[in-house]
């Protein structure tokens, strides 16, 4: 099941398909996909950040196999946090990942707009929404000042709150979008409306299904009509550099998803 170079977009998946580190996963995926989403994290307890030797190997694999990497910036960064010290810490963590991956051929940087661990943005008052937006503007200003990466390479992902809430910041700074179709279905947002409004700005798509109330499963668990709708829109709005990431995390899910995608190839 090889779907590499078979679509009018870059077909990809995550760097955690087989139960191993990033390099063995890249070796496993190199001839099967066009793009690998590097899911990187760093904490006091654990880090999966590649070594300089690993980064060189990832770059060589990319050159030999026409691969690109979409870099998912750490999940524990809170660019909309009310405390500026926390925002500075979050931006600093992003900048370290950007520097680490500097020499890789990249399709995009994926980022979340969140206000803090466990904070429900849906419950914000009007004043809290305004402060959240101000905090995001401050963080993005710091981020763009700290790197030469163009603003359009940073792709803001839709999460569990309406994306129109943060769209003014995305538009103001010239950022791009990571349109997570799995999230739209999981949280009950109107997928057709989101595709109509945001697909033109989306450099990255995340696609996955839901099983027993948990997302990030095989595409075989995504509603068939949703996948048909998405693939139809991708034909109508083709973009060769756009990344279609099957955001799943097992070999079984990868293989069943590829079997499903083969009929669209």
Using a 10 angstrom Cβ sphere, with 0-12 exposed, 13-18 middle and 19 or more buried, the burial of residue 164 is exposed
Q: How far apart are CA 241 and CA 65, in angstroms?
A: 16
Question: 47 pLDDT band (50/70/90 cuts)?
Answer: confident
Mean pLDDT of the chain: 96
Question: 1 pLDDT band (50/70/90 cuts)?
Answer: low
The residues, any chain, with a CB within 8 Å of residue 106's CB and separated by 6 or more, are 68, 69, 70, 71, 153
pTM of this structure: 0.96
Q: Using DSSP, how many helices (H) and how many strands (E) does the chain show?
A: 9, 10
Given the DSSP bridges, would you call strands 209-211 and 214-217 parallel, antiparallel or unpaired?
antiparallel
Per-residue pLDDT reduced to its tens digit, 60-110: 999 999 999 999 999 999 999 999 999 999 999 999 999 999 999 999 999
Q: What is the mean pLDDT of residues 194-209?
A: 98
The answer to whether the beta carbons of residues 244 and 222 sit under 8 Å apart is no
Question: 45 pLDDT band (50/70/90 cuts)?
Answer: low
Q: How far apart are CA 43 and CA 89, in angstroms?
A: 12
Question: 166 pLDDT band (50/70/90 cuts)?
Answer: very high
The answer to whether the beta carbons of residues 245 and 70 sit under 8 Å apart is yes
Domains detected in the chain = 10-264 (3.20.20.150)
């Amino acid at each position: 099941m090889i779907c590499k170079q078979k679509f009018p977009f870059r077909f990809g998946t995550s760097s955690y398909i087989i139960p191993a580190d990033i390099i063995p996963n890249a070796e496993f995926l190199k001839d099967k996909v066009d793009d690998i989403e590097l899911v990187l994290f760093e904490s006091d307890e654990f880090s999966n950040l590649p070594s300089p030797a690993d980064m060189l190997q990832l770059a060589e694999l990319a050159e030999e196999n026409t691969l690109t990497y979409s870099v998912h910036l750490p999940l524990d960064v809170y660019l909309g946090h009310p405390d500026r010290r926390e925002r500075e810490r979050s931006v600093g963590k992003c900048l370290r990942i950007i520097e680490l991956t500097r020499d890789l051929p990249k399709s995009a940087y994926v980022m979340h707009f969140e206000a803090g661990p466990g904070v429900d943005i849906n419950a914000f008052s009007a004043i809290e929404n305004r402060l959240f937006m101000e905090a995001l503007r401050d963080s993005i200003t710091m981020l763009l000042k700290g790197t030469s990466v163009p603003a359009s390479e940073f792709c803001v992902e839709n999460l569990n709150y309406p994306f129109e809430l943060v769209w003014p910041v995305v538009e103001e700074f010239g950022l791009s979008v990571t349109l997570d179709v799995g999230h739209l279905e999981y949280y009950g947002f109107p997928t057709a409306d989101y595709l109509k409004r945001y697909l033109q700005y989306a450099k990255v798509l995340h696609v996955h299904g839901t099983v027993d109330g948990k997302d990030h499963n095989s595409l075989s668990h995504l509603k068939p009509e949703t996948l048909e709708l998405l693939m139809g829109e991708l034909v109508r709005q083709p973009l060769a550099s756009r990344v279609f990431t099957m955001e799943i995390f097992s070999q079984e899910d990868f293989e069943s998803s590829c079997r499903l995608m083969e009929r669209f190839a």
